[in-house]
Amino acid sequence: MAYERISISRMSGALGVELGNIDLSQPHDPEQLNEVRDALYEWGVIILRRQNITSEQYLAFARHFGDILPYPLVMGLPDYPDIVPVLKKEDERVNFGGIWHSDTTYLERPPMGSMLLAKELPPQGGDTIWSNMIMAYETLSDGMKAMLDGLIAINSAKKGSAAATREDSRKDGGAKNNSGMATTAEHPVIRTHPVTGRKSLYVNFGHTTHFKGMSEAESTPILEYLFKHQIRPEFSCQLHWEIGTLAFWDNRITQHLPINDYHGYRRLLHRITLAGEKPV
């Protein structure tokens, strides 16, 4: 795809690009934003460096791509409730979301995408890795594809591996933002992207517990294979954060892992989540 209003720099062979020639503190160019959207759909992860923007400008950028979805388990900023602080404090050992996952797949309509803006960073460490779920699907054997086709995955917010990574944030008031929320959802194991039509593998270690109509014991061997397969290094890209870096990813075709290698230091990113559709 040709880009005229932005520049593209590949992050890896699998997914991810850094975009240049874009300053979100300036009035937005609709044609440029269309190219940003195209890059997101083409590469799954887009990175914008050196974005010295206010919360209002951050929200205005996000709204070009869809409705903002409040994060269900952690409170947003007091003045900007749609922006959620993703914080690990100096005395904490567990980082928020610190496992491989797709965001909030326990919702009936999981987000189409998420954004993070770096505000405070440790002197080293704290990178984020993404993995390409289209490649994960396409590299499965024909026999495995046939077996998975039509299967439904059960996803839960209460799966222990994921729940443990939210505890410190919930202590800071997250439970107040959880009233009446459904915490379990059923989604196809193989989903089709609503824009590109490409198929991707849609189970994840953080939330997927078993297959519908099968017990956890029956599901576990297959899921363990898929969890290992979908994070193969050749499917991935890695981001080294800098203050002012904005990352935006398509949650429908990627998974991510924030690396927890900076104990004793503070790390703060501001997150915006964009509403999505029911997976098919």
- The whole-number pLDDT of residue 50 equals 98
Domain of 37, CATH number, reads 3.60.130.10
Provide the 8-state DSSP code for 59.
H
Q: Of 187, 256, 267, 270, which residue is the catalytic one?
A: 256
252: annotated active-site residue: no
- The whole-number pLDDT of residue 160 equals 65
Question: Does residue 40 carry a pLDDT above 60?
Answer: yes
Which residue in this structure is represented by tokens 């703060």?
268
Average pLDDT, the chain: 93
125-178 tens-digit pLDDT: 999 999 999 999 999 999 999 999 999 999 999 886 656 654 555 455 554 445
- The whole-number pLDDT of residue 20 equals 97
Percent of all residues in the chain with a pLDDT value above 90, rounded to a whole number: 88
Instruction: Tell me which of 196 and 72 has the higher pLDDT.
Output: 196
101: annotated active-site residue: yes
Q: Of 103, 166, 207, 252, which residue is the catalytic one?
A: 103
- Residue 97: count other Cβ atoms within 10 Å of its Cβ: 21
Average pLDDT over residues 248-271: 98
| Domain that residue 100 falls in | 7-274
188-241 tens-digit pLDDT: 999 999 999 999 999 999 999 999 999 999 999 999 999 999 999 999 999 999
Provide the 8-state DSSP code for 251.
T
Q: Which amino acid is at 157?
A: A
91: annotated active-site residue: no
Q: Of 166, 207, 252, 271, which residue is the catalytic one?
A: 271
- The whole-number pLDDT of residue 164 equals 60
Q: Is residue 41 part of a domain?
A: yes
Q: What is the DSSP string of 97-136?
A: T-SSB-TTTTSSS--SEEEEEEEE--SS---EEEEEHHHH
Q: Is residue 1 part of a domain?
A: no
Whole-number Cα distances in Å, 118 to 39, 58, 86, 230: 21, 12, 10, 27
Compute the distance between CA of residue 233 and CA of residue 235 in angstroms, rounded to an integer. Answer: 5
- The whole-number pLDDT of residue 73 equals 76
Q: Is residue 280 part of a domain?
A: no
Q: Is residue 35 part of a domain?
A: yes
Sequence-distant (6+) residues with CB within 8 A of 141 are none
**Under 8 Å between Cβ of 63 and 255:** no
**Sorting pLDDT into bands at 50, 70 and 90, what band is 1?**
confident
Q: Is residue 279 part of a domain?
A: no
- The whole-number pLDDT of residue 74 equals 85
Sequence-distant (6+) residues with CB within 8 A of 125 are 259, 261, 262, 265
**Sorting pLDDT into bands at 50, 70 and 90, what band is 71?**
confident
Give the phi and the psi of residue 232 in degrees, each rounded to 5.
Answer: -60, 140
**Sorting pLDDT into bands at 50, 70 and 90, what band is 2?**
confident
Compute the distance between CA of residue 26 and CA of residue 24 in angstroms, rounded to an integer. Answer: 5
Looking at the structure of the chain, the number of domains it has is 1
Q: Of 101, 187, 193, 252, which residue is the catalytic one?
A: 101
103: annotated active-site residue: yes
Q: Is residue 126 part of a domain?
A: yes
Q: Is residue 190 part of a domain?
A: yes
Q: Is residue 47 part of a domain?
A: yes
